Structure 1
């Protein structure tokens, strides 16, 4: 009994020493962090005042620069409008909706619409007008939203008319293909013209008189393949189109009038917090850090209270415990258990450092940035180009399969015929072979038969190589 009592007393003394050590360490830590926090708070306040003052001065300076630049841009635009008015070159003022619509009306009414020389001249004029119109749309300055939308509508109307003019030019060339196109052999005709803003390539076949002999085999037919090395395109058509009067057009335009019509061309709007300047951002950051600092101070206060409660609890020695009754001993046992629980919690808290306000703010910023990135992420539809990742630089290809227009004939009766390009409605359904089941072993004959069937299915499609 005596040895057990001495051992219990020794354990109590060791526990008391450990408790005092933890209490002392916690007091020193709390005092040290309190002093560091006070010094840091004074330093942060001084730095914040300097930062706010400098950022406000910088913001005001940049705002004054923006106002001056805005005035210079207005003056520059007024001078450009006056210079445009004094040119007297017959071209409209791109900023004037009335003049642009009048020009478009006269363009549509011209008798030479579609003539190649007129198309080349008109393309140059329209692209020159677009340079000014694009600047008006990109930098609207003091223009109203309605005027901006009207400019965009005029731009789209001009683009459509320009494409119609190119289509009309193609139609007129194919309308007299034996006179305008070069013969490659007895039935194949080609046409290629290169200009500054576009390259026009055509390929077609002429209709020969049919003999009474049966149709030749597929191997003896002329392959339906148009090769356009000027634009780097080769188009191969299936044999099912052999008896169809058709033509292939490969048109490369050196401008891009399609990208800004795509929904992905314009980025998503940024959240409000991402549009603030440095001055406003600094104020918001200070307020958020202040709230986080209050959380840190509250946690330090809670730990200090736990340390104070542990310090106020005094364990009873084994001699005193032996002199007490059973009821008092149960009460003291509960008190010892409470002391042990408080000490255990204090040890856990000492192992877990308190995050400073700056680290908590950085974590919040990372979370906000992740949410912003998720909002700015684009949702692509099948076969849609991501214009937030890629940009059109070398122009746009137009690869068209069109009907061969009727050729001039001496007719006694009036026959109504189409006067513009008519596309060929060509559709073929390609069914790829199903993938083999996992672990399935196939004979070489089966693999060869499957490849042959796949090749036959692919030959039904039109192949365009760029």
Structure 2
């Protein structure tokens, strides 16, 4: 009964809730009317917002045009004012440096310390000739004389580096470079003479315990390790010198009449001879010049110069695609995707689109020419590109030598056999034996002549951010190479490196020159009168450069170690000397002209970048400058940086954003924490023709007085470091 009653109740409820057809239509109409009203309201609201936005943009555009017009009215005045300031600082600084070079040249001319003037050809030639004829072969005397020679080489290298190109003629540059090379050659020959003279006394200098000669001779620039095999012990495997360096000798050499020499020089006189050392012309230009030369050969007519033809549109070479650019960034070879080159002969005045007035090279012709160009290039993946890598820690000359005949005592007579030819190398492996390739060594194939081993501890005056790589010198190809070097092991804690080679080679350690690029951030901030701190932070290190007056120095954080780079840390130097010292120590913060081939950079307009560095240095006595993330979003023509200092606003510790181009500068409304980039100005701000005037508009009188009274040598020193590090494009 209860179930029946429940069923009836449910049925009645459904009948009561059921809507008629008319009611349903009425409700649907009400819902439709509501939807239409909401859509109409939304449309009107959108139209109103769009109108308001258009009105806002119109007003902003009008205001921007008004401000730009106002800036144009004051442009000449502001540029003239800045020009006088720059002349007061930089022109005076250049004049001071020119006078300093002239005074140094005169002081060098009047110097009477027995050393020749390296730029006076008659003096340096006489010096070299006399040293060649000098019969004193005592190794210590040679090392003492070598310090004079090294100073002469360093003096010439600094002269080439420090003197502006317009102050040196081409003949002078050639003369100085030839003198450097000749001094280096004579120096190495003297080391060989001293080594030979020392080895002739090996039996007299033999160690009583081992029966062999082991000796170390060193000075501040050179360390000479010599081991002479007098005992001929077949069980001999190797020897460790007391200076944390040792070698492993293959068994065939243990019973041979040989000597091992390890000559470690703190300097590198080999890399400059490499074909990869100097700046190379860009690939695209090389290919175009090659094509033009081929056309001239075939046509017998002289074509327009490359630059003129390219600028006028007569040579049309498309930019390489993204993939080609990426290959270049990774250090690989790349070739341009050239589809068509139209070259116009001299004297033709007809429109360029007339086929009879142009020489066309079809795609298949380009391919043939480029293939020919590739074949002319001797590309080898084992050759070290010295534009991408830097040799560090000096050079190790690792040689196996023939042991000269030793003195024999016969009653009252001392007999020594003299051989012609000087110091002789011992061939290992013998030239008639074909050694295994690196692939065969890696796969464990047996060798008739086993490899030689060497181990040594890295010096603290060089910093490696990754495990060091090893390269050997190829005397025939004049390049550093990475083949035939195996079993490399590096102990990071002890900084000890060991490896094997299939023969005795001169070797060095190399590191990626751009390992600290691009920088993660940077900051330039005033510290005291004519003193600023320039901090560059990379993925591996925070380099603190202090600039005071006309000198600068490196200050490393305390956690970098007590002995790391102790030879240069906190040592005051000129900007050029500091740059040279840091690169030699492995801390390269100075991009080369072609570093953008190996580093993805934030490319900026050259004029805008140069102007930014000039004015940042000018303002550095009072204002701090720093990296901004928006610099990567502002495009090629604009630079964005953070500024903090003595502004008229109450809160002087807040970073403000400024944007500048080669035409104008202004403060930005956005902050570093904003979500999207905008170049809008804050309220009551104006455009200015220079960054200097954009900051001056809100500066205190005290701040501007400090800037005006700053030392010109200090401003120029800051500018040199900014242009050398190129922090605006390499961050």
TM-score by length of 1: 0.58
Q: For the residues of structure 1 that align with 2:395 and 2:151, how far apart are their CA atoms?
A: 19
Deviation at 1:153, TM superposition (A): 1.9
Evaluate the alpha carbon distance shift between residue 250 and residue 50 of structure 1 in structure 2; reply closer, same or farther with a 3 A threshold. Answer: farther
Evaluate the alpha carbon distance shift between residue 16 and residue 239 of structure 1 in structure 2; reply closer, same or farther with a 3 A threshold. Answer: same
CA contact (8 A) 1:184 1:190 kept: no
**Greater relative contact order (CA < 8 Å, ≥ 6 in sequence):** 1
1:240-319 alignment to 2 at 5 Å? 240-261=252-273
1:131 aligns with 2:154: yes
Deviation at 1:264, TM superposition (A): 6.4
Evaluate the alpha carbon distance shift between residue 64 and residue 401 of structure 1 in structure 2; reply closer, same or farther with a 3 A threshold. Answer: farther
Which residue of 2 is the match for residue 460 of structure 1?
450
CA contact (8 A) 2:405 2:418 kept: no
Evaluate the alpha carbon distance shift between residue 78 and residue 24 of structure 1 in structure 2; reply closer, same or farther with a 3 A threshold. Answer: closer
Which residue of 1 is the match for residue 397 of structure 2?
398
1:23-422 alignment to 2 at 5 Å? 23-46=47-70, 54=78, 57-63=81-87, 65-112=89-136, 114-141=137-164, 142-179=167-204, 181-185=205-209, 187-206=211-230, 221-230=234-243, 232-261=244-273, 378=331, 381-382=381-382, 384=384, 392=392, 394-407=393-406, 417-422=420-425
CA contact (8 A) 1:264 1:388 kept: no
CA contact (8 A) 1:267 1:376 kept: no
Deviations 1:189-232, CA, capped at 9 Å, x for gaps: 22222333322111121277xxxxxxxxxxx82314132222x2
Evaluate the alpha carbon distance shift between residue 53 and residue 235 of structure 1 in structure 2; reply closer, same or farther with a 3 A threshold. Answer: farther
Q: For the residues of structure 2 that align with 1:222 and 1:253, how far apart are their CA atoms?
A: 31
Secondary structure of the 1:202 match is strand
Secondary structure of the 2:215 match is strand
Q: For the residues of structure 1 that align with 2:400 and 2:252, how far apart are their CA atoms?
A: 14
Deviations 1:240-262, CA, capped at 9 Å, x for gaps: 22343221112222333345555
Which residue of 1 is the match for residue 490 of structure 2?
none
Q: For the residues of structure 2 that align with 1:245 and 1:13, how far apart are their CA atoms?
A: 107
Q: For the residues of structure 2 that align with 1:140 and 1:126, how far apart are their CA atoms?
A: 21
Secondary structure of the 1:177 match is coil
CA contact (8 A) 1:205 1:246 kept: yes
Q: CA RMSD in A?
A: 4.3
| Bigger fraction of residues in helix | 1
Deviation at 1:384, TM superposition (A): 3.4
Evaluate the alpha carbon distance shift between residue 415 and residue 259 of structure 1 in structure 2; reply closer, same or farther with a 3 A threshold. Answer: closer
Secondary structure of the 1:193 match is strand
CA contact (8 A) 2:277 2:385 kept: no
Which residue of 1 is the match for residue 542 of structure 2?
none
Secondary structure of the 1:234 match is strand
CA contact (8 A) 1:176 1:408 kept: yes
Q: For the residues of structure 2 that align with 1:390 and 1:49, how far apart are their CA atoms?
A: 51
Deviation at 1:386, TM superposition (A): 6.3
Secondary structure of the 1:235 match is strand
Deviation at 1:136, TM superposition (A): 1.1
CA contact (8 A) 1:267 1:388 kept: no
Q: For the residues of structure 2 that align with 1:100 and 1:178, how far apart are their CA atoms?
A: 38
| Bigger fraction of residues in strand | 2
CA contact (8 A) 1:264 1:378 kept: no
CA contact (8 A) 1:190 1:204 kept: yes
2:427 corresponds to which of 415, 424, 439: 424
CA contact (8 A) 1:140 1:148 kept: no
Greater C-alpha Rg: 1
